[in-house]
Structure 1
Amino acid sequence: MLFAFLTIGLVLETLHAFKSAFYLSPANETRRLLWTLAHSHGTLFGLINIAFAFSVRAAWGWSPVARTVASRSLLGASVLMPAGFFLGGIVIYRGDPGLGVLLVPVGGMLLALGVLLTALGVRQRGRSMPLPPQDRPAPASSPAPLRRKAARSGA
């Protein structure tokens, strides 16, 4: 995903370099803005998904259902928001974006849900969850078992 949106950025830069009227004409300012928003949101969503992947490990006590809903919400937002900006810029009506831009608020709601569930999942660990087994400190050896053994042997 990150690679795809970075590539889209290169395509937009190429359109800019060749002074494409389809992209740079003052009449197409809305298109340029929307496509730039599609590229930047897509790139940021790629980074958000990488951060989410790392946060899943930090929130090991997170319920599988909440984790799945958060993951799917972030993936849906990652598709809908950039797609809405891009589709809204394909056909412009007197400076207004096309109907594709209606996908953007839906993607925004999915983003909010995914971020909220992720924040709650990470926060849960700090409150009531014990450390995962690999992060727990090794138990200190107690001299008590040695004393019991010595008492049984009569020493």
Structure 2
Amino acid sequence: MTTIPAESSFQCAKRHLQFGWWSFFVFSTLGLVLEMLHGFKAGLYLDVSQETRRLMWTLAHAHGTLLALVHLVFALALRGIPALGRVHQRLISRCLMGASALLPGGFFLAGIHFYAGDPGFGILLVPPGAVLLLIAIALVARNSAHDAPPEEPARGRRS
């Protein structure tokens, strides 16, 4: 049986920085598209019968943008406090990635096809995404309380 080597905090931070910045780009672009639909008074977005779509897509934009910022903060925290990622790093990372797909994705899909003012079936992705986000937040909060072991002084150097 082979074991998968643990990912370093640096590698994890790099992945979350990249994911965070690209997510920020994608969801900011979605926000711009929504503003354009509003500005051009597009019926598929502004008609009274499309209120559910407008709400779901706005929630997708807001949650996606906020989660992108969460990835950036997590990456910077990993770089600043390496002990943060030592315990459950892989689980935290996967939970954040899953939440970033399920929460905004569920809201967006729920706004594509909706039924008599009720969100579409994509809304079923939102609760699992929220649970993943809460797990990640709880683990980060718990791990942030752990002190990092003191760094050993470099050998051969006198202070």
Secondary structure in 2 matching 1:96: coil
Secondary structure in 1 matching 2:119: coil
> Which structure has the bigger radius of gyration?
1
Residue 72 of structure 2 corresponds to residue 50 of structure 1: yes
| C-alpha distance in 2 between matches for 1:46 and 1:97 | 24
| C-alpha distance in 1 between matches for 2:85 and 2:76 | 16
Residue among 150, 153, 156 paired with 1:131: 150
CA offset digits 1:124-150 (Å, max 9, x no partner): 12xxx433458xxxx996xxxxxxxxx
Alpha-carbon distance, 1:59 to partner: 3.5
- AA aligned opposite 1:90: I
| C-alpha distance in 2 between matches for 1:59 and 1:41 | 26
Residue 111 of structure 2 corresponds to residue 92 of structure 1: no
| C-alpha distance in 1 between matches for 2:152 and 2:51 | 56
Q: Is 2:77–2:84's contact at 8 Å kept on the other side of the alignment? A: no
Structure 2: runs of 5 or more not aligned = 1-22
Q: What is the TM-score normalised by the length of structure 1?
A: 0.80
| C-alpha distance in 1 between matches for 2:39 and 2:158 | 66
| C-alpha distance in 2 between matches for 1:124 and 1:64 | 10
Secondary structure in 2 matching 1:95: coil
Q: Is 1:35–1:89's contact at 8 Å kept on the other side of the alignment? A: yes
Alpha-carbon distance, 1:65 to partner: 5.4
Residue among 35, 39, 46 paired with 1:24: 46
Residue 56 of structure 2 corresponds to residue 37 of structure 1: no
Partner of 2:126: 104
Count of residues paired in the alignment: 135
Partner of 1:5: 27
- AA aligned opposite 1:46: A
CA offset digits 1:13-68 (Å, max 9, x no partner): 00001100100000010100000000010000000000000121344234645011
| C-alpha distance in 2 between matches for 1:8 and 1:70 | 26
| C-alpha distance in 2 between matches for 1:70 and 1:86 | 24
Identify if the C-alpha distance between structure 1 residues 16 and 74 changes in structure 2 by more than 3 Å, giving closer, same or farther.
Answer: same
| C-alpha distance in 2 between matches for 1:86 and 1:69 | 25
- AA aligned opposite 2:60: A
> Percent of counterpart pairs with the same letter?
48
| C-alpha distance in 2 between matches for 1:28 and 1:63 | 43
The farther-off stretch of 26-35 and 62-71 is 62-71
Secondary structure in 1 matching 2:83: coil
